[in-house]
Amino acid sequence: MLKLIHLEIRKINFWRYILGAIAACFVFTGMLFFSLYADRNDLANTISDFFFVVDSTRMIFIVFAGVLISRLIIEEYHDKTISLMFTYPISRKKIIISKLLIIICSTFFFILASRIIVAAILYMLNNSLHFIDGEITIQMITEYFRNTIIYDLSFSGISLVSLFFGMLKKSVRTTIIASIIIAVFFGISNEDLSDVSISSFLVRSLIFAVIGVIATYFSIRNIEQKDVL
């Protein structure tokens, strides 16, 4: 499995997608920050607004996962180049699972890393510019990340839902559009996460993970029997 993962990473220009996602993440976060800063005299920005900006980075990496799904799976089905890999004496499901592991692990890592970096930058900016009403402490941020790390993992799972829609027609466009819709829908649902209890986080995380697992199962359940069309 590790050899398959290494082969897949080498096969695409992986860093190009990573740099693009990181750039998009900070542009998007910067826009949210400036909207908060510009309105600071008219609207009181709360601690919830601070964490909303931090959590919004998840939206970018759901789309990032959709791009990876398109590149690693959908494009190969559409161009029929995956037929070559299916001639190897390796289970088709094992090949697809290796691709999905790359997507899930990289999405989770970059969601978590980007949120930590964005939180640190916003914390330092707030200490200088004071655009948030109320005191934000390192302990508060640390506690919040400890409580929401499982949520980040579940978002990596929910990002695989776009695979199901992409596999229906082997369409890159459908995959990307589905990932954008998922990102917007679940991004909006994050608005009040700073006030949600740990138990609610766990319930939401479990639901998201189950949705991702079900979508993945229905996407690859007949992969061993179906020809590449």
For 88-134, what is each residue's pLDDT tens digit? 777 888 888 888 888 998 889 988 888 888 899 889 888 888 888 88
Q: Determine how many CB atoms are found less than 10 A away from the CB of residue 92.
A: 17
CB 183 within 8 A of CB 63: yes
pLDDT at 176: 92
pLDDT at 177 over 90: yes
| pLDDT tier, 224 (very low <50, low <70, confident <90, very high otherwise) | low
pTM summary value: 0.83
Tens digit of each residue's pLDDT (9 = 90 or more) over 135-169 = 888 988 898 888 788 888 888 888 888 988 988 88
Across residues 172-177, what is the average pLDDT? 92
Tens digit of each residue's pLDDT (9 = 90 or more) over 18-27 = 888 888 888 8
User: What are the angstrom distances between the C-alpha of 207 and each of 49, 142, 153, 157, 203?
Assistant: 25, 24, 12, 10, 6
| pLDDT tier, 198 (very low <50, low <70, confident <90, very high otherwise) | low
Tokens of 146: 């400890």
